[in-house]
Chain A
Amino acid sequence: VSRNPELFPIVGIGASAGGIEALEGFFRGMPADPGAGFVVVTHLNPERESILHEIISRYTTMTVQVAADGAQVGRNCVYVLPADAVLSIQGGRLEIKRLESHQRERKPIDIFLSSLAKDAGEAAVSVVLSGGDSDGTLGTKAVKERGGLTLAQAHNGNGPAHPSMPDSAISTGFVDFAVPADEMGTKIAQFAHSLDMLEAIAAKAGQDDDKTAEAKARREICAILRNQVGHDFSGYKPKTFTRRVQRRMQVLQVDTMDAYVECLRQEPKEVGALFRDLLINVTNFFRDADAFEKLSEVVIPKMFEGRGANDTVRVWVPGCATGEEVFSIAILLREHMDTLKAIPRVQIFATDIDEHALSVARAARYPEALLDTVSAERRKRFFIPDGGSYVLNKEVRDLCIFSPHSVIRDPPFSRIDLVSCRNLLIYFGADAQDQVIPIFHYSLKPGGYLFLGTSENVSQFGELFTPIEKKHRIFRSREDSIVPARVPMVLGGFRATPPSADSGTRRSMLSGVALRQAVEVQVLERFAPAFVVANRDGEVVYFSARTGKYIEPAIGVPTRQLLTIARRGLRLDLRTVLREAVENERRVVREHLAVEGDDGRVQLVTLTIEPVADRDADDPLFIVLFTDEGPSLSREDALNRPQIPAPGENELLERELRDTRERLQSLIEEYETALEELKSSNEELVSVNEELQSTNEELEASKEELQSLNEELQTVNAELNGKIEALDRANSDLQNLFESSEIATVFLDKNLVIRSFTPAVSQVFNVLPGDRGRPLTDLSSRLPLPRLAEDIRSVFATGKTVEHRIDAEGGEQQYLVRLLPYRDFERSTHGVIATFIDVTTLSKFQAHQQVLIAELNHRVKNMLSIVLAVAEQTIKSSVSLDAFKAAYMPRVRAMARSYELLSRENWKAAAIRDIVQQEIEPFGADRVLVGGPVVLLKPEQAMSLGMVLHELATNAAKYGALSTPRGTVQISWSFVDDKADSILLRWRERDGPPVKKPKQKGFGLKLVDGESTHRLGGEPTIEFAPEGLSASLKMKLE
């Protein structure tokens, strides 16, 4: 099936306390490509940045982002409600409403889900995860109502941690899947898939309605429903119908329509479930507006008719669920009350067996999307907007009393003017319905009203209710109806018809019974003596026909007390006989009782009281039979009748008896007065009780608020715990950094008080760990820091870093002191960070480097000067450029060699032998004899000696021993007078050409002379002996 890119489910996920674990499970269990968009709405404190999206993105490969206003919800994307906002959806785009800081949306989940239901319709999916309170319940209803899929987290090993939220949603009966969080993903993926299939099915169904298998199955399902629940759905739109069926198929994990039809045939329960799904009739405000219109036009004015300010109008809404129906009625009543001068007290008893739903109703808070059916006028008049929700005002809310109550199990309310029970009966089986409708009749005052849902009816109890508005299911309790024996089921399930399991056979039996009943009733009415059935206290539970002769209504509040309503003359004996019958549990008969009728005639009556057979001993009933003895007599006849025996004695006795009777009568009257008083006390107690109930409700509401607050606190606490852990880690990192840092660092606040410091600070200040909190200026410093306080002030003033070096220990140590501003999040200076870095070594190196550079400069410049000078002098003594080149280049090279030698020795010293060797090498080392002790020369001297030797060797090569192949040179040196401070070096040439003293001294010899005298420390002697030149020069060693 190709996917329609437009149509994919949007899943609204609501979670509160314990939601993080649930969300983890939810996203862990999600298949890789669920084909749906996800919106996560949580119930968190708006003043806090939430990191929820980061948490979720750990568990899913889908894109997780914080919802942005106007964002188009995409397939396989997750959006998270941002803090401090209310989220809704419109046309597939998220809408974010920022809340004012003082506002607080308490039900963001419901707001989103209800808008999602409206926007996405059948493609909406609601998921209610762990959380307290009843959030999500209204949202789930809304989604279900629009045909969406609803899920809620069910218990398993992994939670929910706070089950109240999902439980509340589940208990409404609108949840399709109650499954653990990690199984939801599969369901949603299936749903996304089936959504596409549905489109296809629906499209096909539209084309050829009768031919497809779906259509056939649909007709079969309709037939089953018609047979079993008596409701015809064949008029439903095929698409809607198929979807609802499809939904049930998904829930049951059934693949084909045929299989589902089979399932329907075998499981009557499933028929009921499908019926309810088809009838999804989520109560909403003024649902079925016409019906409510009629209610307010026809019924409500009647209810208030003739009621004064001291009277009470009582309304009972059984099965009130989340309260929309209750408040709709309350609004109608309030509107009518506004038109009245004397306003009676109004009580609306709203009951439900589901405590969760009640708590939603008590809160009286509804998302805006659920108020579509409420007119703007009513919204303004009766609702207070609060965040994205609307809360009913006190005026309406105070009319309603919510309490848990079961229509079937608990005793009904009584003296009710209106029972509104819409869409509850559809959840009941036929038996339960047969029980409940008489109960409503019993509860209602005669002439009270019954308001049912559109698909409900009073069925066979037409004798109890007259329809007022048949179309809108408004009925009136028949005042003239015979109170059926079913009513006092409170008394122990006294029923005329035995309960039967099968409705089919029941119906035929009923007709047999009915026939018998009809005959018996006729016989009873026509031929049997009048009778009543009373319990042991004399409360009448049943009257036969024609009891008026023996019974008349008593003054005051209507009562069923037989002893009160029996006619005079019967009361005394009735009491005695009844007591006797009760005590002995047998029949007691009293004859010849005179009963005075309204016409003044006296009827003699035989009174028979007999226990009803087959009653349990705890609650026996008694038939009280009144049998007339002959025709009625006139008063005289009656008086005369017993006067047959002896006159005197009898008269006396008679009088005495009359006196006694009168005394008894007055006693009885006193007793009755006392009883009245008791009754009024009782009523007072009832009203006190009601007050207590409403107080209780208020307490309940406070408790709920506390609970939700508590939950929030828990969530916040969990988040805080996480942050504290992160903080601990950061702190520990910082601590380790501090300890590993060798840089002395002190954190100071505005008053120069130490906040913290690294251990290295102890090298600078005499500081102990306990000195945190002391001003830095209190501590003695090992460094001279005269300007510290001033510098810190300047950092505060300018916000700029101050940096300078200081010498310590008399210049032995150097520190770099750096003062930086300590900035907080707002970038304002809150303190100073002082660092002290020991830069002694660095300084030394820097100084040394400076010296080296200067030395280098000096050497280079000196050298250049020398090279220039040599050039200059050589030029003076050169006759041609060639001569200059021949003299100059070797000189410079000789200097370069000396430099190289000294560089090798690091400019410390050079051995004489090495200097000699390198200077004679260019002229052939084999012709030069070298000898002398190891002597080291200083660099300056080494340089000079190098120059001198060069000039001598050059001279020898040009004119002396080295100019011929046989000539040799002997170079030797020795300590003068064996003293270590002076050396004599000799140069002697042999076997060269004959030597003549030159006429003029060249620059070479001048240099030999000059260098020797000037720096080597001795006058040289140069002899131009004929056998060869010889020179000797002294050097001073230092």
Chain B
Amino acid sequence: LNDIPAAKPERPRVLIVEDEWILADALADDLNGMGYDVAGPASSVAKALVLIEQENIDIAILDVSLGSGQKSFPIAAVLARRDIPFLFITGYQAADLIPDFAGKIVIAKPILLDTLKRRLGEILSRHPAH
């Protein structure tokens, strides 16, 4: 989208998968402010997978539930295969909804920016950018 400011090459690129546009838009603004480049936001699994193929993503933020019963787990599976770090955001109870990804970082909605910032920092420090 046009209004995202031009990114510097060293800024990490974050994929946002979130079906609510308003949330995705706000999150993108926030991430830009925190010094990240934003890929997407994608509103569905298919769109997200296309973005993963096309863009060089450093980290992904996945909303668990993507509307109409769609879940973001297939995206997480692809990311894991590609060794791209990711974290979940969800309005559900975190623990019992992600059977295959137990132990992954989950941030509850509504998101606190400080938490998001810290989590992203932690993940990126463990996963040096490609």
Chain A interface residues (CB < 8 Å from chain B): 854, 857-862, 864-866, 868-870, 872-873, 876, 938, 940, 944, 947, 1006-1007, 1010-1011, 1013-1015, 1038
Q: B21–A857 contact, CB under 8 A?
A: no
Known contacts being A857-B92, A859-B91, A861-B91, is A866 close to B97, with CB within 8 Å? Answer: no
Using A868-B110, A873-B29, A1015-B43 as known contacts, list a sample of 14 further A-B pairs with CB atoms less than 8 Å apart, ordered by residue number in A. Answer: A857-B92, A858-B91, A860-B91, A862-B23, A864-B110, A865-B109, A865-B110, A869-B23, A869-B27, A873-B22, A938-B67, A940-B67, A1014-B41, A1015-B19
Number of A-B contacts (CB under 8 A): 76
Q: A862–B21 contact, CB under 8 A?
A: no
Cβ-based interface call for B108 (8 A)? yes
User: In this complex, which of B29, B91, B92 has the most chain A Cβ atoms within 10 angstroms of its Cβ?
Assistant: B91
Known contacts being A864-B109, A868-B110, A872-B26, is A1015 close to B91, with CB within 8 Å? Answer: no
Known contacts being A1014-B21, A1015-B19, is A1038 close to B91, with CB within 8 Å? Answer: no
Taking residues whose C-beta sits less than 8 angstroms from the other chain, chain B's interface range is: 20 to 34
Question: In the complex, what residue of chain A is closest to B40 when comparing beta carbons?
Answer: A1014
Ordered by A's residue number, 21 sampled pairs between the chains whose C-beta atoms are within 8 Å are A858-B90, A860-B91, A861-B108, A861-B110, A862-B23, A862-B109, A864-B110, A865-B23, A865-B91, A865-B110, A866-B23, A868-B26, A869-B27, A870-B22, A873-B26, A873-B29, A1010-B22, A1015-B20, A1015-B21, A1015-B67, A1038-B68
Complex CA distance for A693 and B111, rounded to whole angstroms: 116
Cross-interface CB contact of A1007 among B22, B91, B108, cutoff 8 Å? B22
Q: Chain B residues near A940: list those with CB within 8 A.
A: 19, 67-68
Complex CA distance for A1010 and B26, rounded to whole angstroms: 11
CB within 8 Å of A: which of B1-42?
Answer: 3, 19-27, 29, 41
Q: Chain B residues near A858: list those with CB within 8 A.
A: 65, 90-92
Complex CA distance for A859 and B109, rounded to whole angstroms: 10
Q: Chain A residues near B24: list those with CB within 8 A.
A: 1010, 1014
Complex CA distance for A944 and B43, rounded to whole angstroms: 13
Q: Chain A residues near B21: list those with CB within 8 A.
A: 944, 1007, 1010-1011, 1013-1015
Complex CA distance for A872 and B3, rounded to whole angstroms: 17
Complex CA distance for A389 and B68, rounded to whole angstroms: 97
B95-116 vs A, CB cutoff 8 Å, 1 = contact: the mask equals 0010000000000111100000
Q: Chain B residues near A854: list those with CB within 8 A.
A: 92-93, 97
Q: Chain A residues near B108: list those with CB within 8 A.
A: 861
Q: Chain A residues near B90: list those with CB within 8 A.
A: 858
CB within 8 Å of A: which of B47-100?
Answer: 65, 67-68, 90-93, 97
Complex CA distance for A71 and B25, rounded to whole angstroms: 93
Complex CA distance for A781 and B109, rounded to whole angstroms: 48
Q: B91–A862 contact, CB under 8 A?
A: yes
What's the nearest-Cβ distance from chain A to residue B98, in Å?
A: 13
Question: In the complex, what residue of chain A is closest to B47 when comparing beta carbons?
Answer: A1014
Q: What 7 pairs between A and B have smallest CB-CB spacing?
A: A861-B91, A869-B26, A1014-B21, A858-B91, A865-B110, A1010-B21, A940-B67
Q: A869–B92 contact, CB under 8 A?
A: no
Q: Chain A residues near B22: list those with CB within 8 A.
A: 866, 869-870, 873, 947, 1007, 1010-1011
Complex CA distance for A865 and B27, rounded to whole angstroms: 10
Q: B91–A869 contact, CB under 8 A?
A: no
Q: Chain A residues near B65: list those with CB within 8 A.
A: 858
Complex CA distance for A859 and B20, rounded to whole angstroms: 12
Known contacts being A862-B109, A1038-B68, is A869 close to B25, with CB within 8 Å? Answer: yes
Complex CA distance for A542 and B7, rounded to whole angstroms: 169
Known contacts being A861-B91, A873-B25, A940-B19, is A1014 close to B43, with CB within 8 Å? Answer: yes
Complex CA distance for A944 and B21, rounded to whole angstroms: 9
What's the nearest-Cβ distance from chain B to residue A891, in Å?
A: 10
Complex CA distance for A857 and B109, rounded to whole angstroms: 10
Q: Chain B residues near A938: list those with CB within 8 A.
A: 67-68
Question: In the complex, what residue of chain B is closest to A858 when comparing beta carbons?
Answer: B91
Q: B19–A865 contact, CB under 8 A?
A: no
Q: B93–A857 contact, CB under 8 A?
A: yes
Q: Chain B residues near A944: list those with CB within 8 A.
A: 21
Complex CA distance for A238 and B90, rounded to whole angstroms: 112
Complex CA distance for A1010 and B29, rounded to whole angstroms: 14
Question: In the complex, what residue of chain A is closest to B90 when comparing beta carbons?
Answer: A858
Q: Chain A residues near B92: list those with CB within 8 A.
A: 854, 857-858
Complex CA distance for A940 and B22, rounded to whole angstroms: 13
Complex CA distance for A947 and B109, rounded to whole angstroms: 21
Q: Chain B residues near A1010: list those with CB within 8 A.
A: 21-22, 24-25
Complex CA distance for A1016 and B102, rounded to whole angstroms: 33
Q: Chain A residues near B97: list those with CB within 8 A.
A: 854
Question: In the complex, what residue of chain A is closest to B64 when comparing beta carbons?
Answer: A858
Q: Chain B residues near A859: list those with CB within 8 A.
A: 91
Complex CA distance for A386 and B23, rounded to whole angstroms: 102
Cross-interface CB contact of B20 among A857, A866, A1006, cutoff 8 Å? A866
Question: In the complex, what residue of chain B is closest to A1013 when comparing beta carbons?
Answer: B21
Q: Chain B residues near A864: list those with CB within 8 A.
A: 109-110
What's the nearest-Cβ distance from chain B to residue A800, in Å?
A: 31
Q: Chain A residues near B43: list those with CB within 8 A.
A: 1014-1015
Complex CA distance for A1006 and B68, rounded to whole angstroms: 24
What's the nearest-Cβ distance from chain B to residue A887, in Å?
A: 14
What's the nearest-Cβ distance from chain A to residue B34, in Å?
A: 14
Question: In the complex, what residue of chain B is closest to A856 when comparing beta carbons?
Answer: B91
What's the nearest-Cβ distance from chain A to residue B40, in Å?
A: 10
Complex CA distance for A743 and B25, rounded to whole angstroms: 57
Complex CA distance for A938 and B67, rounded to whole angstroms: 10
Q: Chain B residues near A1015: list those with CB within 8 A.
A: 19-21, 43, 67
Question: In the complex, what residue of chain B is closest to A864 when comparing beta carbons?
Answer: B110
Complex CA distance for A282 and B24, rounded to whole angstroms: 119
Complex CA distance for A1038 and B25, rounded to whole angstroms: 24
Complex CA distance for A1006 and B43, rounded to whole angstroms: 17
User: In this complex, which of A858, A870, A947 has the most chain B Cβ atoms within 10 angstroms of its Cβ?
Assistant: A858
Q: Chain A residues near B3: list those with CB within 8 A.
A: 1006
Question: In the complex, what residue of chain A is closest to B42 when comparing beta carbons?
Answer: A1014
Question: In the complex, what residue of chain A is closest to B18 when comparing beta carbons?
Answer: A1014
What's the nearest-Cβ distance from chain B to residue A533, in Å?
A: 133
What's the nearest-Cβ distance from chain A to residue B82, in Å?
A: 24
Complex CA distance for A1013 and B41, rounded to whole angstroms: 11
CB within 8 Å of A: which of B104-130?
Answer: 108-111
